[in-house]
Every structure is written in C-alpha cells, then in structure tokens.
Amino acid sequence: MPGFKDYDPFFMAGGKIDPLSEIRNAGIVTNGSVFWVKQVDDPDYTTFQDSVGASAVRNSLQAGIDLVRSDTNDYVLVAPHTGGTILTLGTAVDVNEDRVHILGLGYKPVPQSYNGLAFQGFVVATGNDTELVMVTGAGVEIGGLRFLGTSGTDATGTITATFRAGTASTGTAHDLWLHDLQIENNNAAAAGGTAPIFEITGDVGGGIVGFRADRCWFGNWSWAPTPVVNFAGTAGPTRAEFHDCTFVLDAQATTDRFVTSGTGVTEYTVFENPHFINVTAGTAPASAIVGAVLADNPVLVHNGMGINVTQIGTDTEVYKSPVASGTATSVRDYGIGVGSAALIPV
C-alpha cells in the first residue's frame, strides 16, 4: 500500500516532514529547533532520515546536543536503539547551553519499565571522563533516559559522579528539571568506589537556584556510594525538590547515607513521597539525610519511607510529615501514627 509521501504533491516534489509536526502529538510546542538522535544501524534509519531531513539527525547523544542553540528552547529527541540495545559513551555528555530539552522518545512516567527508558550509556575503558553527564546550562530539561556509569576508581577509570550539575566555578545550572530518569552505577560491589551517583554543586553567584527531580531513580543495589545524592559547594543548590523519587544503596556501615544536604544556603529542600531503600538488612544507616543543615534552611520530608534505615533525618532542621509515633509494632500494623504536632524534627 503506498505511503502518504507517494501521492502527496509536497513529498513527491522532495519536501521533508517538519519535525515540529511530528512531536505535536506528544504535547511539545516550541519556536526553537528540533533535532533527533538515532542509531545508523536501526533498520528504519534511512527512511527516517529521509523523512525528517539528514541535517536534523545525529548518531550520538552528544552530537545531537551540539546542534542546539542556547536559550531558544531547542529539543533533542533520542530514539531508542532497536531491541533496546545499550548505547556506549566514551566521554561525558556535556550540556552547556541554556533552555535545552533532551527527551527519550516514547518514554513513560515509569523509570524502570522497558518502554520507559530510551537511552542507556556507560563509560568505557578507552575513553573515560570524570562524570557520565555534566550539566552547566540553565533551564535544562532531561527526561525519559537511563544513564549507567562507573563510579569511583576501578578498571574503567575514575568517576567523581555519574551525573553532575554545576561545578565549583560554574554553578549556573539554574532551574534544572530531571524527570523519569534512572541514574545508576553499573559496577560490581568490589569495584564500585564511593563517589556519589548524583551531585549538584554551587559555589558562586548564589549557587544553583531552582532544581526539581520527578519520578527519578538514583543509586545501585550492590554497593554503597557515599552518598547517593550529594549537595556540594558552599552556596546551594537552593529550592531543590525531589518528587516521587527512589534512592537505593547497599549500606556497609551505619555512616553510609542516601543524601548529604551540604553546608550552603539552600533556603529549603523538599522530598515528596521519597523511598529510601537500603538493601542490606543487617546494616542500617543512622540517618537517610545527613549534613549540618544551616538554621532557617529546613528540609521537609513528606510521606517519606525508609527500609533498613534508623531515621530519615537526625539534624534539627530536618522535618517529617506526617510524624510516626507509638511502638514499631503499632506503626507496622496501622501504617502511620499521628504525632503531637503537625511538623516536628525527626
């Protein structure tokens, strides 16, 4: 049966599909450009490239990002490799332009489902870097992707963090939005090292202002990063929010932690419906959230749950709502016990 381009005059004359028209059904509308990342060995690569135009297609994530312009709301859409094959990165992916959107095609708001993740990458021995992903641009959105990276020092090199936002000298990744991501170490326990999975840094210019993660999965079940998420630097990040996120580690000591809140001015930090999961039953971290939180810079944990964790947070500026009370047995039997106040330090 003939395709649309076989009888439509525009396509018969050599016209190309406007990439914008192809993504409107996904609810994406922009006055910027749209670029595509697709593997050349996909069986439909030639047809796809002919449809959208070769100038808008690249074969690697970094090459697609390199096409965008800063501050114009350009999109990079990443097509899953046929059969879900893992794609390999040799060096870090650098996102250094403002207001860039990087999305996996066909992702669903379930980070670990087969159809929910489009891109899987890991650092290889022949081309290592200090992180797998580095974001220094402002207003960046990344969603629907999976990043597997070595962390710590082992045969594949040294990684300071699988995913990093901002640096000590360029803490400019303001308004970063991560959603439906899986950011994970892929090393065995003996080679995992202790570097954090995700690190967000701000030392200058008031730190990183505005960070949000939705439905993200951070961690690894076979080793203990310290911590899983690290707030580094002396100025923020400020107004950080984690919504419906899962944090996983394999604790080897009671001092292991899921989150280090940092010592800078954060204004506030919110964890909404978080899951702190330590897979080691015999070693419970003393506190899921650790750090000398500054006075008047509270951390709020709303509907938080922890497995094999002694407390969610022990600092006086860490608050939990609702507050569990009563014996451990009564909490297990009835779910949530109501404390004497709406908000009290854990």
Residue 213: is its pLDDT beyond 90? yes
DSSP per position, 55-107: GGEESSHHHHHTT--TTS-EEEEEPPPGGGPPP-BSS-EEE-SSSEEEEETT-
Say which residue, 13 or 226, is predicted with more confidence: 226
How much is the pTM? 0.82
Q: How many residues does the chain have?
A: 346
CATH of the domain at 270: 2.160.20
Q: Average of pLDDT values for 229-247? A: 84
Give the separation between CA 317 and CA 164, rounded to whole angstroms. 26
For residue 113, name the pLDDT band (cuts at 50, 70, 90). Answer: low
Domain membership flag for residue 211? yes
Q: Average of pLDDT values for 266-277? A: 91
Give the separation between CA 324 and CA 124, rounded to whole angstroms. 45
Domain membership flag for residue 206? yes
Nearest to 64 by CA among 19, 31, 106, 21: 19
Residue type, 77: L
Per-residue tokens: 32: 């910027």
Contact 274, 243 (CB under 8 A): no
Strand-strand pairing, 161-165 and 198-201: parallel
Q: Average of pLDDT values for 150-156? A: 44
> 189-203, 223-237, 246-260: lowest mean pLDDT where?
189-203
**Does residue 182 sit in helix, strand or coil?**
strand
For residue 338, the tally of other CB atoms under 10 A from its CB is: 11
For residue 111, name the pLDDT band (cuts at 50, 70, 90). Answer: low
Contact 171, 205 (CB under 8 A): yes
Q: Average of pLDDT values for 312-328? A: 73
pLDDT for residue 281? 85
In terms of C-beta density within 10 A (0-12 exposed, 13-18 middle, 19 or more buried), how is residue 128 classed?
A: middle
pLDDT in tens, 75-89: 998 888 877 777 766
Say which residue, 72 or 169, is predicted with more confidence: 72
Domain membership flag for residue 66? no
Domain membership flag for residue 290? yes
Say which residue, 72 or 238, is predicted with more confidence: 72
Residue 246: is its pLDDT beyond 50? yes
Domain membership flag for residue 23? no
Which contacts (CB < 8 Å, 24+ apart) does range 339-346 have? 343/300, 343/319, 344/319, 344/320, 345/313, 345/315, 345/316, 345/317, 345/318, 345/319, 346/301, 346/311, 346/312, 346/313, 346/314, 346/318, 346/319, 346/320
Nearest to 288 by CA among 249, 235, 335, 326: 249
Distance from chain centroid for Cα 123: 17
* Segment (H or E) for 217: strand 217-219
Domain membership flag for residue 44? no
For residue 247, name the pLDDT band (cuts at 50, 70, 90). Answer: very high
Domain membership flag for residue 21? no
For residue 287, what are the domain limits?
90-104+118-345
pLDDT for residue 235? 66
Domain membership flag for residue 295? yes
Say which residue, 164 or 254, is predicted with more confidence: 254
Count of domains forming the chain: 1
